[in-house]
Structures are given as C-alpha cells and as structure tokens.
Amino acid sequence: MQRVTRRRVLGLGAASLGAVAGCLDETPGTASEDGPNSTGGDENGDGEWHRVAPRSYAEPLMYLESGEAHIWTVTLDNDGIADGDYVASMGGTDELALEGVGPGTYAFRARGWFEDRREAEQIAFAATFELEADELTLTPTDAIADTEMEAEGGGDTDALVATSTRGDPDDEYQRLCEFELEVVDEPDGGTEPRRLITEQLLRHSQLWDAVALAAERDVSTVRIEEYNGTHPAFGHDSDGLYEFRGRYYRVRTAELE
C-alpha cells in the first residue's frame, strides 16, 4: 500500500504581522496568573493585555511550507515622536520598526492557520520580552503651533483653542476641522469608555495633544483646529468616551468649513 504524506501549509495572518499586544500600563511587571492574555503589576491593576501595534492589518499574507521557519527582526525607535506626526503603523515581512513604546512587558505575536482549516481553527505563536526604555512623557507635541483661551457658557468657563500644523490647507481634499475634548467626571448613560494606556494614546495624535493640553493648562475643554482629509473628520471612530489614567474624556469632532 502506498503511503500518502499530506503537505501542511501554514498561512501567517496579515493581521498579526508586527508587535501586537501586551503592554503593562506604565511600569514593568510580570505575567499574572489570571490567564495567558493577562498581565499583572500595572498601576491601574486591570490585569489585561493591551494591543499596541499595528492598529491596522499588516500585509502581505505569507505562507510557510512544512519544515520551514521565519524570523522577524523588530527594532524599537522613539526618535521623533514629539514632532506631532502620526506614529507609523508597523508592517513588513522581515524588518519591523516599532515607534512610541515605553518600558514594560510586551508580547510579539504571529497568528495564522493551516490552509485547510482557516475557518475552523487559527493558531498563534507569541513571545514575551521586557523592555527597558525611557518613559513616554505626556506633553503636547510640536504640532501645536498656537493656543488661546476662549470664554464660553456666558463667560463662566473657558476653553483652550489650539491650532495644529498637521494637515495641509492648500490640499483641495482637506478642510478645517475641530477636535473637541471635554473632561467629564464619570461615564453616563451606560456608555462604556475606551480605556487607553500611554502607548495607545500616543497613536491617536489629536487625542494625545488634547489630553496633554487639558492637563498642562488645567482646563476642562480643549478644541484643536486642524486640516484633515478623512470622512468623517478624524475618522469614524474618533468620537466617544475615553479613559486614561483614571480620568474620563468625551470627544466630539466636526467640520468647520
């Protein structure tokens, strides 16, 4: 009887190429006993992993034949993150650059599936590592060119209005938009806030600047005016309620012209 050897091909999912996931909030720590997707020791004590990068799907999809192996080389680089440009979304098949990360415990994960079992079962491989790096400091980026206080509510409160250099006023596809952040006491109406750690906040450029300005100037409302080419302004998922370091923020966006 002839023996048939079945070839197994592992497809590496595009969504998992890159440094995805686990970061302790602000301080180094060790894995907790709560489960394989948990960490312990962060200052907020939620015992959860937080996906850091990439925010989008990395391409291209890759395949490994039986017996083959693949190596990714990840380089960490925080140079230039204070200039206000968007933090690059890492991607690639061999060399990966990861920007905007502080000290802590991270996990690098690659996810995939066998060619005949994509719908039934996926497989993930992950390795954790401790990163020693400088803390990410919450300060406004260089993209904030000008600020002024504006009275509102009959003069009872003041809002900080900031002008951003991000965007291009000469681009016919961009228009002046407003990113408004309001500091709120607590969630209301049953809305669940999106909790962010520092590395995630940094990847939301306008939100980072608005939170930093609110803290630096001790104001409850910040409005950033910036040229933007996405529809709706700043993307479909910008509006909403956020939590960062135990404080809550409500974001609203609008077109000014």
Structure confidence at residue 7 (pLDDT): 46
pLDDT at 120: 67
The DSSP-derived string for 4-53 is PPPP--EEEPGGGSS--S---SSS-----SS-TT-----TT--------S
Domain segments of the chain: what residues?
Answer: 7-136, 144-255
Give residue 107's pLDDT: 81
Query: Does residue 60 have a cis bond before it (omega within 30 degrees)?
Result: yes
- Collapse the DSSP code of 180 into the 3-class scheme (helix H, G, I; strand E, B; otherwise coil) and give the result: strand
Pair 234, 241: CB distance under 8 Å: no
3-class SS of residue 256: coil
The residue ranges of DSSP E strands in 104-239, in sequence order, are 104-114, 123-131, 144-152, 157-164, 175-184, 194-195, 221-228
Strand partners, 158: 151
Nearest to 6 by CA among 67, 66, 70: 66
CB 58 within 8 A of CB 110: no
Q: Which of 75, 89, 44, 42 is nearest to 205 (CA)?
A: 89
Per-residue pLDDT of the chain (257 residues; tens, 9 = 90+): 444 444 445 555 433 322 333 333 332 222 222 223 323 223 444 567 788 877 666 666 777 777 888 888 888 878 877 776 777 666 667 777 788 888 888 888 777 777 766 666 777 778 888 888 888 889 999 999 999 999 876 666 789 999 999 999 999 999 999 999 999 988 777 788 999 988 889 989 999 999 999 999 999 999 999 999 999 999 988 999 999 999 999 999 999 98
With CA atoms as reference, report the closest residue to 256 among 164, 144, 147, 183: 164
Residue type, 126: A
Structure tokens that stand for 161 in this block:
């209005």
